[in-house]
Amino acid sequence: MSLVVLKLGGSVVTDKDEAETVDEAGLGAAVDAVAALAETGQVVVVHGGGSFGHHHAADHGVSSETGTYDVVGIREINDAMKRLNDAVLDALAERGVAGLPVHPLSAGAREEDGSLSLPLAATETMLEEGFVPILHGDVIAHAGKGATIVSGDDLVVSLAAGLDADRVGLCSTVPGVLDTDGDVIPEITAFEDAADALGGSESTDVTGGMAAKVQKLLALGAPAHIFGPEGLSAFVAGESPGTVIRGE
Ligand code: IP8
Protein backbone atom coordinates (compact mmCIF):
# COMPACT_ATOMS: atom_id res chain seq x y z
CA MET A 1 0.00 0.00 0.00
CA SER A 2 1.40 3.40 -0.87
CA LEU A 3 2.43 5.77 1.92
CA VAL A 4 2.16 9.55 1.69
CA VAL A 5 3.66 11.99 4.20
CA LEU A 6 1.79 15.31 4.02
CA LYS A 7 2.83 18.53 5.76
CA LEU A 8 0.13 21.12 6.33
CA GLY A 9 1.84 24.47 6.83
CA GLY A 10 0.81 26.51 9.86
CA SER A 11 -0.15 29.37 7.53
CA VAL A 12 -2.60 27.06 5.73
CA VAL A 13 -4.51 25.78 8.78
CA THR A 14 -4.32 28.85 11.07
CA ASP A 15 -4.86 32.58 10.76
CA LYS A 16 -1.28 33.73 11.28
CA ASP A 17 -2.30 37.25 12.39
CA GLU A 18 -4.69 36.20 15.17
CA ALA A 19 -3.26 34.36 18.18
CA GLU A 20 -4.40 30.74 18.41
CA THR A 21 -6.99 31.03 15.66
CA VAL A 22 -7.79 28.18 13.27
CA ASP A 23 -8.41 29.10 9.62
CA GLU A 24 -11.57 27.05 9.27
CA ALA A 25 -11.69 27.17 5.47
CA GLY A 26 -8.00 26.31 5.14
CA LEU A 27 -8.22 23.50 7.66
CA GLY A 28 -11.42 22.18 6.06
CA ALA A 29 -9.81 21.93 2.61
CA ALA A 30 -6.69 20.34 4.11
CA VAL A 31 -8.57 17.66 6.02
CA ASP A 32 -10.71 16.90 2.95
CA ALA A 33 -7.44 16.13 1.17
CA VAL A 34 -6.25 13.93 4.05
CA ALA A 35 -9.58 12.07 4.02
CA ALA A 36 -9.24 11.42 0.28
CA LEU A 37 -5.65 10.15 0.68
CA ALA A 38 -6.68 7.91 3.59
CA GLU A 39 -9.32 6.25 1.39
CA THR A 40 -6.76 4.93 -1.08
CA GLY A 41 -3.59 4.38 0.99
CA GLN A 42 -1.66 5.17 4.14
CA VAL A 43 -1.05 8.76 5.16
CA VAL A 44 0.96 10.46 7.89
CA VAL A 45 0.17 14.12 8.53
CA VAL A 46 2.48 16.72 10.05
CA HIS A 47 1.20 20.22 10.75
CA GLY A 48 3.11 23.39 11.47
CA GLY A 49 2.75 25.90 14.28
CA GLY A 50 1.10 28.94 12.68
CA SER A 51 -0.45 31.29 15.21
CA PHE A 52 -0.39 28.58 17.89
CA GLY A 53 3.30 27.66 18.26
CA HIS A 54 5.34 30.52 16.92
CA HIS A 55 4.42 33.42 19.17
CA HIS A 56 4.75 31.29 22.32
CA ALA A 57 8.18 30.20 21.08
CA ALA A 58 9.15 33.83 20.42
CA ASP A 59 7.80 34.95 23.83
CA HIS A 60 10.11 32.47 25.52
CA GLY A 61 13.09 33.17 23.26
CA VAL A 62 13.16 29.60 21.94
CA SER A 63 14.09 28.71 18.35
CA SER A 64 15.55 25.72 16.56
CA GLU A 65 18.99 27.01 17.62
CA THR A 66 18.35 28.63 21.00
CA GLY A 67 17.13 26.35 23.74
CA THR A 68 15.52 26.84 27.13
CA TYR A 69 15.39 25.06 30.48
CA ASP A 70 12.25 27.00 31.53
CA VAL A 71 9.67 24.28 32.05
CA VAL A 72 6.78 26.77 32.12
CA GLY A 73 7.78 28.05 28.68
CA ILE A 74 8.30 24.56 27.28
CA ARG A 75 4.86 23.52 28.46
CA GLU A 76 3.22 26.67 27.09
CA ILE A 77 4.61 26.01 23.61
CA ASN A 78 3.73 22.30 23.73
CA ASP A 79 0.23 22.96 25.11
CA ALA A 80 -0.51 25.45 22.33
CA MET A 81 0.61 22.92 19.73
CA LYS A 82 -1.54 20.25 21.33
CA ARG A 83 -4.56 22.59 21.11
CA LEU A 84 -3.96 23.00 17.36
CA ASN A 85 -3.39 19.24 17.03
CA ASP A 86 -6.77 18.67 18.71
CA ALA A 87 -8.45 21.01 16.23
CA VAL A 88 -6.93 19.04 13.33
CA LEU A 89 -7.98 15.71 14.89
CA ASP A 90 -11.52 17.01 15.49
CA ALA A 91 -11.84 18.19 11.89
CA LEU A 92 -10.63 14.78 10.68
CA ALA A 93 -13.02 12.95 13.00
CA GLU A 94 -15.93 14.94 11.50
CA ARG A 95 -14.97 13.37 8.15
CA GLY A 96 -14.73 9.90 9.62
CA VAL A 97 -10.91 9.80 9.54
CA ALA A 98 -9.35 7.93 12.48
CA GLY A 99 -6.54 10.38 13.29
CA LEU A 100 -4.40 9.87 16.38
CA PRO A 101 -1.87 12.31 17.90
CA VAL A 102 1.88 11.75 18.02
CA HIS A 103 3.44 14.56 20.09
CA PRO A 104 7.13 14.94 19.21
CA LEU A 105 8.07 16.31 22.68
CA SER A 106 7.20 12.94 24.16
CA ALA A 107 8.39 10.83 21.25
CA GLY A 108 11.77 12.11 20.09
CA ALA A 109 14.82 14.23 20.88
CA ARG A 110 17.67 16.12 19.28
CA GLU A 111 21.29 15.23 19.61
CA GLU A 112 23.95 17.83 20.39
CA ASP A 113 24.59 18.53 16.70
CA GLY A 114 20.88 19.23 16.20
CA SER A 115 20.09 15.99 14.37
CA LEU A 116 16.66 14.61 15.09
CA SER A 117 16.06 11.18 16.52
CA LEU A 118 12.41 10.18 16.10
CA PRO A 119 11.53 6.59 17.07
CA LEU A 120 8.80 5.39 14.71
CA ALA A 121 7.18 2.44 16.50
CA ALA A 122 4.05 4.40 17.47
CA THR A 123 3.58 5.89 14.00
CA GLU A 124 4.26 2.59 12.23
CA THR A 125 1.89 0.57 14.38
CA MET A 126 -0.84 3.18 14.05
CA LEU A 127 -0.51 2.95 10.25
CA GLU A 128 -0.61 -0.85 10.30
CA GLU A 129 -3.75 -0.71 12.43
CA GLY A 130 -5.51 1.68 10.04
CA PHE A 131 -5.07 4.92 12.00
CA VAL A 132 -3.77 8.19 10.60
CA PRO A 133 -0.90 9.52 12.75
CA ILE A 134 -0.95 13.31 13.14
CA LEU A 135 2.35 14.90 14.23
CA HIS A 136 3.22 18.58 14.60
CA GLY A 137 6.09 21.02 14.91
CA ASP A 138 6.91 21.14 18.60
CA VAL A 139 9.36 21.97 21.34
CA ILE A 140 11.67 19.00 21.92
CA ALA A 141 14.46 17.98 24.32
CA HIS A 142 17.86 18.85 22.83
CA ALA A 143 21.12 17.47 24.27
CA GLY A 144 23.12 20.29 25.86
CA LYS A 145 20.49 22.99 25.18
CA GLY A 146 17.43 22.03 27.24
CA ALA A 147 14.67 22.15 24.65
CA THR A 148 14.51 23.74 21.19
CA ILE A 149 11.92 23.97 18.40
CA VAL A 150 11.61 21.18 15.86
CA SER A 151 9.88 22.32 12.69
CA GLY A 152 7.29 20.26 10.89
CA ASP A 153 9.63 20.17 7.87
CA ASP A 154 12.33 18.39 9.89
CA LEU A 155 9.75 15.86 11.06
CA VAL A 156 8.60 15.27 7.47
CA VAL A 157 12.15 14.48 6.33
CA SER A 158 12.69 12.11 9.25
CA LEU A 159 9.32 10.36 8.74
CA ALA A 160 9.65 10.06 4.97
CA ALA A 161 13.12 8.52 5.24
CA GLY A 162 12.33 6.27 8.21
CA LEU A 163 9.00 5.01 6.88
CA ASP A 164 10.20 4.74 3.27
CA ALA A 165 7.38 6.96 2.01
CA ASP A 166 6.33 6.80 -1.62
CA ARG A 167 5.41 10.49 -1.92
CA VAL A 168 5.86 13.60 0.17
CA GLY A 169 3.73 16.75 0.02
CA LEU A 170 4.45 20.11 1.61
CA CYS A 171 1.45 22.41 1.40
CA SER A 172 2.16 25.98 2.49
CA THR A 173 1.07 29.39 1.24
CA VAL A 174 3.78 29.54 -1.44
CA PRO A 175 2.86 27.88 -4.76
CA GLY A 176 6.28 26.18 -5.08
CA VAL A 177 9.96 27.04 -5.25
CA LEU A 178 10.17 30.32 -7.17
CA ASP A 179 12.86 31.33 -9.66
CA THR A 180 14.37 34.84 -9.76
CA ASP A 181 11.40 36.06 -11.87
CA GLY A 182 8.95 34.78 -9.29
CA ASP A 183 7.78 31.85 -11.44
CA VAL A 184 7.38 28.35 -10.03
CA ILE A 185 10.28 26.00 -10.91
CA PRO A 186 8.46 22.78 -11.98
CA GLU A 187 11.24 20.31 -11.12
CA ILE A 188 14.46 20.32 -9.11
CA THR A 189 16.78 17.32 -9.41
CA ALA A 190 19.96 18.99 -8.13
CA PHE A 191 20.56 22.00 -5.92
CA GLU A 192 22.15 23.83 -8.88
CA ASP A 193 18.71 23.86 -10.61
CA ALA A 194 17.55 26.44 -8.10
CA ALA A 195 20.79 27.80 -6.63
CA ASP A 196 20.36 31.31 -8.13
CA ALA A 197 16.86 31.67 -6.75
CA LEU A 198 17.75 30.16 -3.39
CA GLY A 199 20.85 32.24 -2.82
CA GLY A 200 23.41 29.44 -3.15
CA SER A 201 24.13 26.47 -0.96
CA GLU A 202 26.43 28.39 1.39
CA SER A 203 23.44 30.33 2.74
CA THR A 204 21.38 27.27 3.61
CA ASP A 205 22.36 26.99 7.24
CA VAL A 206 21.93 30.68 7.91
CA THR A 207 18.51 31.14 6.38
CA GLY A 208 17.02 27.79 7.32
CA GLY A 209 14.39 28.72 4.74
CA MET A 210 13.58 27.32 1.31
CA ALA A 211 17.24 26.56 0.50
CA ALA A 212 17.62 24.31 3.54
CA LYS A 213 14.28 22.67 2.77
CA VAL A 214 15.29 21.88 -0.82
CA GLN A 215 18.64 20.42 0.32
CA LYS A 216 16.93 18.10 2.80
CA LEU A 217 14.25 17.01 0.32
CA LEU A 218 16.86 16.26 -2.36
CA ALA A 219 18.37 13.71 0.04
CA LEU A 220 15.09 11.73 0.25
CA GLY A 221 14.41 8.61 -1.80
CA ALA A 222 10.87 9.80 -2.64
CA PRO A 223 9.61 12.69 -4.78
CA ALA A 224 8.65 15.70 -2.66
CA HIS A 225 6.10 18.21 -3.89
CA ILE A 226 5.99 21.82 -2.65
CA PHE A 227 2.70 23.53 -3.47
CA GLY A 228 0.08 25.99 -2.22
CA PRO A 229 -3.48 25.21 -1.04
CA GLU A 230 -4.71 25.43 -4.66
CA GLY A 231 -2.52 22.40 -5.45
CA LEU A 232 -3.96 20.10 -2.77
CA SER A 233 -6.51 18.30 -4.93
CA ALA A 234 -3.98 17.78 -7.73
CA PHE A 235 -1.54 16.27 -5.21
CA VAL A 236 -4.27 13.96 -3.92
CA ALA A 237 -4.97 12.90 -7.52
CA GLY A 238 -1.33 11.85 -7.90
CA GLU A 239 -0.41 14.84 -10.05
CA SER A 240 2.56 17.15 -9.64
CA PRO A 241 1.43 20.64 -8.53
CA GLY A 242 4.01 23.32 -7.72
CA THR A 243 7.61 22.13 -7.61
CA VAL A 244 8.64 18.48 -7.47
CA ILE A 245 12.00 17.77 -5.87
CA ARG A 246 13.59 14.51 -6.98
CA GLY A 247 16.99 13.64 -5.61
CA GLU A 248 19.20 11.39 -7.71
O1 IP8 B 1 5.59 25.79 11.74
C2 IP8 B 1 7.07 25.06 14.44
O3 IP8 B 1 6.73 24.23 13.36
P4 IP8 B 1 6.72 24.81 11.87
C5 IP8 B 1 6.36 24.64 15.73
O6 IP8 B 1 6.57 23.62 10.99
C7 IP8 B 1 6.51 25.60 16.86
O8 IP8 B 1 8.07 25.50 11.65
C9 IP8 B 1 6.29 25.04 18.18
C10 IP8 B 1 6.79 26.85 16.76
* Ligand 1 pocket, residue 54 CB under 6 Å: yes
User: Each residue of 202-239: pLDDT tens digit?
Assistant: 543 433 578 888 988 999 989 999 999 999 999 999 99
pTM for the complete prediction?
0.95
Please, which residues have CB within 8 angstroms of residue 79's CB and are 6 or more apart in sequence? none
149 lines ligand 1 (CB under 6 A): yes
Pocket test for ligand 1, best of 5, 23, 54 (most atoms within 8 A of CB): 54
Q: What average pLDDT does range 10-39 have in this prediction?
A: 96
Q: Is the CB of 73 under 6 A from ligand 1?
A: no
pLDDT digits (tens, 9 = 90+) for 84-103: 999 999 999 999 999 999 99
Distance CA 152, CA 169 (A): 12
- Predicted pLDDT at 147: 98
57 Cα–ligand 1 center, Å? 9
